[in-house]
Structure 1
Amino acid sequence: MIDSGIKDAANSAKPSAVVFAYHSVGVRSIKTLLARGIDIKLVVSHEDSATETIWFESVAALCEERGIPRITPDNPNTPEVIAQIAALQPDFIFSFYYRNMLSKDILALAKRGAYNLHGSLLPKYRGRVPVNWAVLHGETETGATLHEMTVKPDAGAIIGQTAVPILPDDTAFEVFGKLTVAAEQTLWNALPAMIAGTAPRIPNDLSRGSYFGGRKPEDGRIDWSKSAQDVYNLHRAVAPPYPGAFTDIHGKHFIIEKARLINHSTTKVPANLPQGVSVVDNVIFGVCGDGKAIEILALQHEGKTLDKEALKLFFA
């Protein structure tokens, strides 16, 4: 059976779009637009950074495969880029995990609206790296939101949302995988009404959420005086392939690769361990300010996971 949204688009001139996209969300969303009959005139993206771990899908590879023109300006808001987009006369402008803000001059070029996919249930967690912030704060749910773009970030009317659970042991990487699917579902479900001009516009009440900035690798430093749950949430929020939660011991730098929150009713932690990292019988404990602990299942030093012999060397 042919989806009615695809059939309707095929029976008339295809709506056109300029797409700002990067990362796996960018790849899946571009594929969704194409499947819904959107004519993508241009993709604006980023060059991969040599200093970043590239664990996600490639917008560049997809554009090459599908023959879609792609540019990667450092600044998308220059007169040259604006003129290039204006010449294409796009019906829609979409932003999918693109990292730069778009100016009002660019947003005004979309005849039928400019829309962004954001990785939270707006208005909560507006701004940068919303997945990491949600995990860090111990949220049990997040989601993907399609919304109108305005000059103020993540402030436009909401077109659609899809929620996903954050399980107690989920890392941000695992949650991001769920959100990639949720973003695809949200866009797929919303596009027929957007094309028909009948999409709902739900007010985005900014008083019900907060704005968050970006995070740096240094923000992964562990404060062992905090509760075990807080330390575990930090680990989950920045676990590899993100830079990782870390601690420095005797001038050496250690990153938690894998960990679990110890259930003290079923697992006995050796008594009188100091706050911080201790190794007892090859088991690595991270003792926290509330007297509870996490078990560190894999610990990295200089990019290598420590084996039993290395643990004896560092923690004898």
Structure 2
Amino acid sequence: MNCVVFAYHDVGVRCLKVLLARGVQISLVITHEDNPTENIWFGSVAALCREEGIPYIAPEDPSTPEVIAQIRAAQPDFIFSFYYRHMLPVELLELAKSGAYNMHGSLLPAYRGRVPINWAVLQGATETGATLHAMTAKPDAGFIVAQTAVPILPDDTAHEVFGKVVVAAEQTLWQALPAMLAGQTPHLPNDLSKGSYFGGRKPEDGRLDWNKSAQDVHNLVRAVAPPYPGAFEQIAGDKITLTKTRRVPAALSQKLTQQYAGLAALLDEGRLYARCGDGNYLQIGHILINDKEVPLEHYLNYKTA
């Protein structure tokens, strides 16, 4: 079997390795040029292609006549998309004789759309995963081939969850490929009425709002913790970024409230706490001021009762 693959990021690297391990011929890979302004903390599809001798291109627009002509010439049985960042036009999808399939970082139909892992953490989800599904004109709407679930633990950051989803994507593709290559691709329902859709996120969306509950603030910090831009506030002209927080038991929050008369931030037995809108405290484990790491107690200079 012969395929053309659109791939980027760690999921792209690992799923390409799965295809190779399963003996699938990869005629062409389409990837992205790395953005010099972006924090590149993930694996390189282009580097893997060079190591394995796989032809690859990195066009700005995958839907140009030139790119489509290259894919048509490859006569692919399958087209795969593994964390490629552009939607692919139907004209291109139809070039795959046995179908075009995408690996999405959620348990569809939940969290369709952009940055699904970050949204799942932000929303307080306790589970997510990877889903291999058919590509259609509508994003993340085609039938499901297979999916694998992973847990989201209470203090997991989006980056930690992403690592689990990379493994889930690898497992999902590995398990699905034999049936797909035998012409027996599963067609499982993807009921959009039971799911959700979310758009992209910008660094500004990480702005802290201490009027929200401790759980909501904690979820935001986890969802955008490094290598993502971080949860931040601006006080007295300085940017303060929280990169690690922890929920504390209700009894401790009550004790701190009584002992410190509801201070907005306090240091107790060497631990830094900040008060949220629901009256509960979060423990702050790490902060940056103007993108530089500083001792936790420096935060007290910015917070008042």
Tell me if both proteins adopt one fold, taking TM over 0.5 as the criterion: yes
User: What does residue 304 of structure 1 align with?
Assistant: 292
CA displacement at 1:88 relative to structure 2: 0.6
Q: Distance in 2 between matches of 1:141 and 1:87?
A: 41
2:272 touches 2:296 (CA, 8 Å); kept in 1? no
User: What does residue 19 of structure 1 align with?
Assistant: 5
CA displacement at 1:297 relative to structure 2: 1.0
For residue 208 of structure 2, the aligned residue among 205, 222, 225 is 222
Deviates more, 1:260-269 or 1:305-314: 305-314
For residue 247 of structure 1, the aligned residue among 233, 237, 262 is 233
CA displacement at 1:286 relative to structure 2: 2.0
1:46 touches 1:73 (CA, 8 Å); kept in 2? yes
SS at match of 2:250: coil
User: What does residue 6 of structure 1 align with?
Assistant: none
Whether 2:18 is the aligned partner of 1:29: answer no
SS at match of 2:129: strand
Gaps of 5+ in 1: 1-14
For residue 202 of structure 1, the aligned residue among 188, 191, 206 is 188
2:124 touches 2:219 (CA, 8 Å); kept in 1? yes
CA displacement at 1:279 relative to structure 2: 5.0
User: What does residue 9 of structure 1 align with?
Assistant: none
1:28 touches 1:180 (CA, 8 Å); kept in 2? yes
User: What does residue 280 of structure 2 align with?
Assistant: 292
The 5-angstrom pairing of residues 11-160 of structure 1 reads 15-160=1-146
Cα RMSD after superposing both structures: 1.7
SS at match of 2:11: helix
Deviates more, 1:78-87 or 1:295-304: 295-304
1:239 touches 1:245 (CA, 8 Å); kept in 2? yes
Q: 1:273 to 1:177 in 2, by over 3 A?
A: same
1:285 touches 1:294 (CA, 8 Å); kept in 2? yes
1:132 touches 1:237 (CA, 8 Å); kept in 2? yes
CA displacement at 1:281 relative to structure 2: 6.9
Whether 2:262 is the aligned partner of 1:273: answer yes
TM-score by structure 2 length?
0.94
Amino acid at match of 2:49: C
Gaps of 5+ in 2: none
Whether 2:184 is the aligned partner of 1:184: answer no
Amino acid at match of 1:287: R
User: What does residue 264 of structure 1 align with?
Assistant: 250
Q: Distance in 2 between matches of 1:39 and 1:91?
A: 10
Q: Distance in 2 between matches of 1:26 and 1:261?
A: 34
User: What does residue 147 of structure 2 align with?
Assistant: 161
Q: After the TM superposition, which segments of 4 or more aligned residues of structure 1 sit over 4 Å from their partners?
A: 277-282, 308-316
**Percent of aligned pairs with the same residue?**
62
Count of residue pairs the alignment pairs up: 301
Q: Distance in 1 between matches of 2:300 and 2:184?
A: 65
Q: Distance in 2 between matches of 1:188 and 1:131?
A: 21
